[in-house]
Structure 1
Amino acid sequence: MHLTRRSLLAGAAAATASLSISIRAQVLPPPGFATPTGTFPFAPEVYRERRAKLMATLKDGVAVIHGAERERTSGPVSPPFYQSGDFAWLTGIVDEPGAVLVLAPAERTYREFLLLPSRDVETERWDVERLPLGSLIEQRTGIQRVRRTSGLDGLVTQLAARSRTLHFMGPITSASAPVPPAMELYGRVMSHVPGCTMKDQSALLPALRTVKESRELELMRKALAATQAGHLAAMKAVRPGMTERQLTAVLEDGFRQGGGEGLSYDSIVATGRNAASLHYAHGNALIGAQDLVLIDAAASVGSYACDITRTFPASGRFTTPQRADYELVMAAQDAAARLLKPGVIHEDMTEAVYALFRKAGRIDEFTHGLGHFVGLDVHDAGDYAKPIPAGAVITIEPGLYNQQMNQGIRIEDLYLVTPTGCERLSTGIPRTVAEIEAFMAR
């Protein structure tokens, strides 16, 4: 072959171009781009510790925890994705719909597996870029073995053939609800692995999640600070003649100004008789001069929720009948709070409130549960039939609702169960009649 200077230069240029294309093809997105972006709100080590704690309790077998699927919509833009609480608590992965976690505590080397749906380049053009399988996902998530969900059945069958035990982590659902995907999977696996059995462990994750870590409480206190800012702004701004929607805007702007990163749930702002509808979600009514305004709303920080309700007079002062009813609801809340300490059963607190309303002849106006656990989910994991442990965070929210009286009254506060009793975390938001009227004084 006769080589000329021109052919040599052309060959070098082609090689350089080929190398350049190869390098460009291998460039991966920088931090913060492409999913999974990492763990949130804590570092991967936190979630690794949680998984290790769970596996130490399970000891052997296989546990499969499914993440949430993306909500289907006919709209032009996908709605926000909300990860399931159990999956988020164990992995910190909040931006990958359809993900699955597999734990195999007795395996010699690899005990954790993250399975993600296959990539769809066309979908990524519209939604969000996703990472290819490889070491970057492992670095971001702290999970060594990452696979595609198409291999889930084969992986679990292989692991079950060695352990012969499948741990069902929940949730237990109504007989009329769809069968949980883990239970469907286990049925298929057991039909192919002789001697393989399923063990109910559905109470385990709620027990672990009920007792809050100090880092979780720190985020919840930040969420409460933002929530306080919003409620105080709304109390100061309310005027007869405003619409509920206008007051909602003031409230939620206050959350943002106070450091809130999102809403714990859709805000409820209801005036007059609208407040007698527990989860009122409209917002067009005019606030009347003699109305009580009920606000059930809270900010979130780091995906951690809180839940606060206040009821206050649009005029800034309670009428005599309003004051009497409000103080009856507050007495009910205080009666329950006096019982809240480690070991109490939730229904005993509820019965104390029932007794008070029954004695007052108002029992038929209290039409919902007394409260719920709060944490990563606003209605967080927990077993109400078991003694409440220290470290739990729970709401107490009695109320009286009467459309004929043109009012609904609810007082809801967040309580941390301490070793000796409880601490009301939402003390910065006026609660008593005197506190509310003094704050709203014009």
Structure 2
Amino acid sequence: MPFDRDTAARRRRAVMDAIGPDAAAVFPAAPVALRSNDVEYRYRQDNDFYYLTGFLEPEAVCVLLPGQPQSEEFVLFVQPRDPDRETWTGLRAGVEGATERYGADIAYTVDKLDEKILAYVGERERLYCQMGRHSAFTQRLLSWLQQWQTQRPRSGRGPTTVIDPSEILHEMRLFKDPAELAAMRRAIAIAAEAHTAAMRAVRPGVHEYEIEALLDYTFRHQGGWGPAYPSIVASGSNATILHYVTNDRMMQAGDLLLIDAGAEFDGYCADITRTYPVETDFTDRQREIYELVLRAQLRAIEAIRPGIRFEEVHHAALGVLVDGLVGLGLLCGSPTEIIEKELYKPLYMHRTSHWLGLDVHDVGKYKINGESRVLEPGMVLTVEPGIYVGHQARDADPRWAGIGVRIEDDVLVTESGHEVLSAAIPKTIEDVTAARA
């Protein structure tokens, strides 16, 4: 999907309108991360920087200057063009590309940052920056602040207040614009292809890593950037480990397989979980747990609409799970007391939902003034209840031991209710069985 300059410009304008004409905002690109010795990890841009610029190179800095004369409100510092380095690591945009392709009002090579930032930001009263986000850049920020503080008694120049822009920017990122939703729909469609391919490939004797490899292949083959997070391919009792990523066990007859995997497309994440038997059929106990989790998930999804609180989605799922676990004999006592005392936690220890976007656990507050926030159109959240009869469930009937089930979908809050963005991926027992035939 091509970079949309107009969308990025609208986002920057919203930030500048929020911080006001007496302020400046500074956002650095993510640093390059070393994997080992002189080998680098594949570069991943800082999500806030990417959201505002669409720029994918390291060693870059975005400076926003509301109301700056000569229409220099968006200043981008970038690596210079360098034929020798570009031979090794690829072409760079350079200052020309920063203005022509990415819409910077003016661009400089990054070696001019210290000189220019002191002049640009020295005229402002407030500086918005994310202290501590990237350690080397934080040291640079502290150096600038020290220089402004030293010069202020004589010149009267330099910001007197430093403010974290995350609250402004992350509230914006919580509400997905059309470009973001298009990228998320594509990420989810790619993930759907991968999950469906995995369903057809699973059988006894296959290793978890073989399915992980199939997922990774499909993500890239379909045009994605790769996995949005390390894929969880958990068979047997491994499915009771929430973030199991070792993925090295050979699947056996009688196992359930839990796959929690999502593609990344244009920086945006899918996050989807499906659970099904390694063989064709569920055992009776596996089926009972699976159908209970599915009922809980459907109840939670049904609750999603503008005006309800985020926490209500969790409670909708939790009520169904606790009632069902009592009915199966895995919990004993009053459902109300079990929920109040959190006695369900050995079997269900996580929340039902989180925000989804550029980060798989995306930014945005869950509470406003101490209360669970109200859902609004444009928010995207996961719905992922589960039951895990693992080592932590020491008091559970051993006949249920080793069963782990989670079902997860990605849901958009709409004006009239909700849309399950990942609805194409089979999840009823009948649909999963048909997809694997």
* TM-score for the superposition, normalised by structure 2: 0.82
C-alpha displacement at 1:181, in angstroms?
6.0
- Asked if 1 retains the 8 angstrom alpha-carbon contact of 2:413 and 2:419, the reply is yes
- Asked if 2 retains the 8 angstrom alpha-carbon contact of 1:336 and 1:353, the reply is yes
- Asked if 1 retains the 8 angstrom alpha-carbon contact of 2:383 and 2:408, the reply is yes
Which amino acid in 1 is paired with 2:416?
T
- Asked if 1 retains the 8 angstrom alpha-carbon contact of 2:255 and 2:278, the reply is yes
Structure 2 residue 116 is matched with structure 1 residue 145: no
RMSD of aligned residue pairs (Cα, Å): 2.8
- Asked if 2 retains the 8 angstrom alpha-carbon contact of 1:156 and 1:189, the reply is no
User: Which of 40, 55, 64 is the matching residue for 1:103?
Assistant: 64
Separation in 2 of the partners of 1:220 and 1:261?
12
Give unpaired runs (5+ residues) of structure 2: 326-330, 332-343, 368-372, 392-400
- Asked if 1 retains the 8 angstrom alpha-carbon contact of 2:79 and 2:94, the reply is no
- Asked if 1 retains the 8 angstrom alpha-carbon contact of 2:79 and 2:92, the reply is no
C-alpha displacement at 1:380, in angstroms?
2.2
- Asked if 2 retains the 8 angstrom alpha-carbon contact of 1:161 and 1:196, the reply is no
Q: Which has the larger radius of gyration?
A: 1
User: Which of 289, 307, 319 is the matching residue for 1:325?
Assistant: 289
Aligned to 2:432: 436
1:132-157 CA distance string (max 9 Å, x none):
54x34321221132123344344333
Aligned to 2:412: 416
- Asked if 2 retains the 8 angstrom alpha-carbon contact of 1:229 and 1:257, the reply is no
Aligned to 2:142: 184
- Asked if 2 retains the 8 angstrom alpha-carbon contact of 1:190 and 1:197, the reply is no
Structure 2 residue 28 is matched with structure 1 residue 46: no
- Asked if 2 retains the 8 angstrom alpha-carbon contact of 1:373 and 1:393, the reply is yes
Separation in 2 of the partners of 1:206 and 1:353?
27
User: Which of 165, 179, 198 is the matching residue for 1:201?
Assistant: 165
SS at match of 2:433: helix
- Asked if 2 retains the 8 angstrom alpha-carbon contact of 1:226 and 1:254, the reply is yes
- Asked if 1 retains the 8 angstrom alpha-carbon contact of 2:276 and 2:432, the reply is yes
Structure 2 residue 276 is matched with structure 1 residue 312: yes
* TM-score for the superposition, normalised by structure 1: 0.81
Aligned to 1:366: 348
C-alpha displacement at 1:131, in angstroms?
5.3
Separation in 2 of the partners of 1:297 and 1:224?
10
- The alignment covers a number of residue pairs equal to 397
1:281-323 CA distance string (max 9 Å, x none):
2222111111000111122222322111100011121111111
User: Which of 379, 392, 417 is the matching residue for 2:379?
Assistant: 392
Structure 2 residue 204 is matched with structure 1 residue 223: no
Aligned to 2:76: 114
Aligned to 2:422: 426
C-alpha displacement at 1:248, in angstroms?
2.3
Separation in 2 of the partners of 1:198 and 1:166?
5
- Asked if 1 retains the 8 angstrom alpha-carbon contact of 2:78 and 2:94, the reply is no
C-alpha displacement at 1:410, in angstroms?
0.9
SS at match of 1:374: coil
1:111-145 CA distance string (max 9 Å, x none):
11111256777655543344554x34321221132
Which amino acid in 2 is paired with 1:371?
S
- Cα 1:305–1:200 change in 2 (3 A) is closer
C-alpha displacement at 1:179, in angstroms?
9.2
Separation in 1 of the partners of 2:196 and 2:123?
59
* Identity fraction in percent: 35
- Asked if 2 retains the 8 angstrom alpha-carbon contact of 1:66 and 1:181, the reply is no
